[in-house]
Amino acid sequence: NSVIDYIECVKMWATADGGAGQNGLLVESTYANNSTYNVKIGKVHVEDSPEHGVRFGGIYSITGVNIDSIYTKNTGASSTSTGGSGVKILGGNYGRPQYNYHFDININTITSIDCQVNTGVNNFAALSVSHAKNITVGQHTVRKVSNPTFSCRRALHLACCENITIRSQDYKDVNINGVMFYDGETSDMLDYDIIKNVYMPNYNCVHTSQGNSASIYFNAKTTKISDIVISGYLVNDVYVRAETQPNGTTNNVYITLKAKPLSTDLTGKAPPIITPNTVNGFIINLVSPFFGSYGSTASPGS
């Protein structure tokens, strides 16, 4: 039941080791589930955090946090950083007896500039959401200013989450994927490994860094994915890619795209859309020029 007007955390220690917990703002329920609840924060400004800019974490559930705006710059500033997300929302997991999800987090605007790009998967997305339900973001913008090459590793990472709404996304100069739907992190979480009810009505990504990486990537070999709605504009060679899912299911994925390929010759490259062989997997409306020859390895999608 707290109201905080403004949080500023800039010029943090660049010589820090970048270990877990070295964030600009860390929100946790320390004592028990929902011991942090009904919190309102105005503006959050974080620069040069050794790890994440803003982190919702801990082993217990957080319920009801509303933030007006978050601005992060140069997250994961340490040279040995274990993470570099602009904003990371992660409930309790990793083999504990219970998996405590975070609930009801609303953020009007998130702007992330120059997120660190490193070798990690989960820890280097501009916005990472996992083990959380009922998350709403009004506007999510990802850009590069000082970083000469990339704005982030991935703009959005989703895993083990439900009821996610991001109303407007504006991504540019992403290293790998605009959005990645990710499979389970530990084998004992298969019953929890669900991504459901994701709504992204204005997804826009100018993805110029690695044209052979999908702007929308379903890396989900065990995940149960359902009820996904995405519409937007892409500049990329590979628009949508979904991996084979031997132990997973994909149902009711609706994607509407206006897209433009980067290359004028697509010979030997993957087709712009690669989806798994699932009965109710994907319905895609695509408006895009097609040209070139995709080659034998891409024949199912050609």
As a residue count, the chain comes to 302
pLDDT of 300 reads 40
Pair 214, 261: CB distance under 8 Å: no
Distance CA 20, CA 57 (A): 11
Mean pLDDT of 54-72: 96
Query: What SS3 string covers 114-176?
Result: CCCCCCCCCCCEEEEEEEEEEEEEEEEEEECCCCCCCCEEEEEEEEEEEEEEEEEEEEECEEE
Average pLDDT of the residues of the chain: 86
| Tokens representing residue 135 in the block | 């998350």
Alpha-carbon distance of 299 to 290, in angstroms, equals 15
249: amino acid identity, one letter: T
Question: Regarding beta strands 273-274 and 240-242, do their DSSP bridges make them parallel or antiparallel, or are they unpaired?
Answer: parallel
pLDDT in tens, 1-13: 999 999 999 887 6
Q: Give me 4's structure tokens.
A: 């905080």
- Model confidence at 108, in pLDDT bands (50, 70, 90)? very high
Q: Which residue has the higher pLDDT, 23 or 300?
A: 23
The predicted model scores a pTM of 0.92
Torsion, CA 236, CA 208, CA 48, CA 91, rounded to 10? 20
pLDDT at 78: 81
What are the pLDDT digits (tens) for 137-166?
999 999 999 877 899 999 999 988 999 999
pLDDT beyond 50 at 255: yes
* 10 compared with 219, residue with greater pLDDT: 10
For residue 211, pLDDT over 70 is answered with no
In the chain, % of residues over pLDDT 90: 54
Q: Residue 288 has what pLDDT?
A: 86
Query: Residue 298: what pLDDT?
Result: 44
Percent over 70 (pLDDT), the chain: 84
Half-sphere exposure of 131 (CA within 13 A, CB side): 26
Report which of 180, 169, 230, 165 is spatially closest to residue 205, judged by C-alpha positions.
169
Average pLDDT, integer, range 67-85: 89
Map tokens 């040279």 to a residue. Answer: 79
